Structure 1
Amino acid sequence: MSTPRYAVRVAEDAADREACFAVRKEVFVGEQGVPEDLEYDAYDAGAVHVLAVREDGVPLGTGRLLYGEAAVAQTGAGPSVGSLGRLAVAGQARGLGVGVALVRAIEDAARARGLAAVDLHAQTHALGFYARLGYEAYGPEYLEAGIPHQGMRRSL
């Protein structure tokens, strides 16, 4: 069996955003039990959403970048720090490098907006994944939507 090919791109239209939200619903709401009213927020409207899509159009993963005032509100850092969030990879695509490709695409979007660093709230089980990508943990562990998290940051 061959490994499916996929592309990662910035969500371009309403259909792309709906695909992003569908992956988030599958992973966060369906698998992890995050309440829908916590999963979707006012930041979605102004965020840069990235989407991984299999060559046949099936969405495989998503993530978002907050910048400007939204990122400051999320991170507590200055305006030169973006906030990577809502990174989700569909079960069928795990282990294919989709998560890494999504993180790198979000970092590229951050660089294109002149940001110097990217901050994120990592679920603690994913700390090793982000550490391998150059993110450094900081601060204490905390609960977000009932799931243990820790802050992480990477300079760009």
Structure 2
Amino acid sequence: MEVTPRFDARDAAFDVRKRVFMDEQGYENEFDQIDDDPRCIHVTLYVDGEVAGCSRVFPEELERTAAPEAPKSPACELDEGVEASQTYLLGRVAVLGEYRRRGLASEIVRASDNAARAAGARLVKLHAQEYVRDLYAKMGYAQISDVDYEDEGQPHLWMAKRL
């Protein structure tokens, strides 16, 4: 199994995201201009040479300028001592159906955290679907908000982790 954080794996990540979020879960639009920004790190995961999953991680400031309508992360005690430029957002974590239940999502999150750290992040926040809360908790993320329905009416919650 190969986990590869890359800045140029957009096409492979797009395929996974379309299949999981749009085709499977029914989201209307999975893509935005953040995907085109060079500061957006597309993490792709391959199993036996085939793409199996993905994520993206990027500076929170990028979302505030490129997607001002996106849900805003709440302030929390983990923000203390962290500059705005050192806060990154993790999102679009997806594993294709045939590869689930193998621990691959954890590998993607780990690679994403490492990529964010290498890019200068000290804090990573995410707006996760409620049903995957335990995955992120096992990876060291703490819940920092109540459940909301800000993302196409689906239950989500904010979580954060210091790197």
Q: TM-score range by the shorter chain?
A: 0.7 to 0.9
Aligned position for 1:3: none
Aligned position for 2:28: 35
Aligned position for 2:58: 66
TM-score using structure 1 length: 0.87
Q: Deviations over 1:78-120 (max 9, x none)?
A: 2211100000000011111210111011111111112111100
Q: Runs in 1 of length 4+ with deviation above 3 angstroms?
A: 71-77
* 3-state secondary structure, aligned to 2:26: coil
What one-letter code is carried by the residue in structure 2 that aligns with 1:70? Answer: L
Aligned position for 1:124: 130
Count of residue correspondences: 146
* Identity score, percent: 36
What is the 5 A alignment of 1:92-107? 92-107=98-113
> Are residues 1:80 and 2:86 paired?
yes
Cα distance in structure 2, aligned partners of 1:117 and 1:7? 25
What one-letter code is carried by the residue in structure 2 that aligns with 1:67? Answer: P
> Are residues 1:89 and 2:95 paired?
yes
TM-score using structure 2 length: 0.83
Contact 1:71 1:82 in 2 (8 A): no
Unaligned runs of 5+ in 2: 66-71, 76-83
What one-letter code is carried by the residue in structure 1 that aligns with 2:159? Answer: M
Cα distance in structure 1, aligned partners of 2:153 and 2:73? 19
Cα distance in structure 2, aligned partners of 1:43 and 1:21? 13
Aligned position for 1:151: 158
Cα distance in structure 2, aligned partners of 1:50 and 1:19? 10
Q: Taking CA–CA contacts closer than 8 Å with sequence separation of 6 or more, which of the two structures ends up with the larger relative contact order?
A: 2
**What is the RMSD computed on CA atoms of the aligned residues?**
1.7
Aligned position for 2:18: 25
Q: Deviations over 1:37-56 (max 9, x none)?
A: xx10111112100001122x
Q: Deviations over 1:122-148 (max 9, x none)?
A: 100011111111100012211112210
